[in-house]
Amino acid sequence: MTPPYGKHPATLVRQERPFNAGPPPERMRADFLTPTGDFFVRNHGDVPEVDAEAFRLEVAGAVERPLALSLADLARFPRREVTATLQCAGNRRQELVERKPIPNELPWGLEAVSTARWSGVALADVLAAAGPTGEARHAALAGLDETERHGHRFHFGGSIPLDKALAPEVLLATGMNGAPLPPVHGAPLRLVVPGWIGARSVKWLASIRLQAEPSDNYFQRVAYRLFPAHVDAGNVVWEEGAMLGELPVNSIVTAPRAGARLPAGDVRVEGLALAGGGRDVARVEVSADGGRTWRVARLGERRERWAWRFWELKLELPAGRHELVVRAWDDAAQSQPADLEQVWNFKGYMNNAWHRVAVEVG
DSSP category for residue 244: P
Give per-residue pLDDT as tens, 78-120.
999 999 999 999 999 999 999 999 999 999 999 999 999 999 9
Give the pLDDT of residue 330. Answer: 98
Give the pLDDT of residue 150. Answer: 84
Instruction: Give CA–CA dist 354/179, Å, rounded.
Output: 36
DSSP3 helix / strand / coil % (the chain, rounded to 5): 10, 40, 50
Domains, the chain, in order of start with CATH, read 12-243 (3.90.420.10), 250-361 (2.60.40.650)
* pLDDT exceeds 90 at position 232: yes
The model's confidence at residue 19, banded by pLDDT at 50, 70 and 90, is very high
Task: Give the length of the chain.
Answer: 362
* pLDDT exceeds 90 at position 151: no
Element holding 326 (H helix, E strand): strand 320-330
Instruction: Give CA–CA dist 216/155, Å, rounded.
Output: 12
Give the pLDDT of residue 145. Answer: 97
Backbone angles phi, psi at 228, to 5 degrees: -70, 165
* pLDDT exceeds 90 at position 55: yes
Instruction: Give CA–CA dist 112/78, Å, rounded.
Output: 31
**Mean pLDDT (the chain, rounded):** 97
Give the pLDDT of residue 86. Answer: 98
Burial class (CB within 10 angstroms; exposed 0-12, middle 13-18, buried 19+) of 136: buried
Q: How many CB atoms lie within 10 A of CB 60?
A: 16
Give the pLDDT of residue 224. Answer: 97
Q: Mean pLDDT throughout 196-212?
A: 98
Give the pLDDT of residue 352. Answer: 98
Give the pLDDT of residue 16. Answer: 96
DSSP category for residue 132: B
Give the pLDDT of residue 1. Answer: 73
Q: Mean pLDDT throughout 236-255?
A: 97
Give the pLDDT of residue 76. Answer: 98
* pLDDT exceeds 90 at position 42: yes
Cα 294-296-302 angle, rounded to 5 deg: 145
Q: Mean pLDDT throughout 265-270?
A: 96
Give the pLDDT of residue 300. Answer: 95
Query: Which of helix, strand or coil describes residue 27?
Result: helix
Give per-residue pLDDT as tens, 280-332.
999 999 999 999 999 999 999 999 999 999 999 999 999 999 999 999 999 99
Give the pLDDT of residue 257. Answer: 95
Instruction: Give CA–CA dist 127/64, Å, rounded.
Output: 10
Give per-residue pLDDT as tens, 153-195.
999 999 999 999 999 999 999 999 999 999 999 999 999 999 9
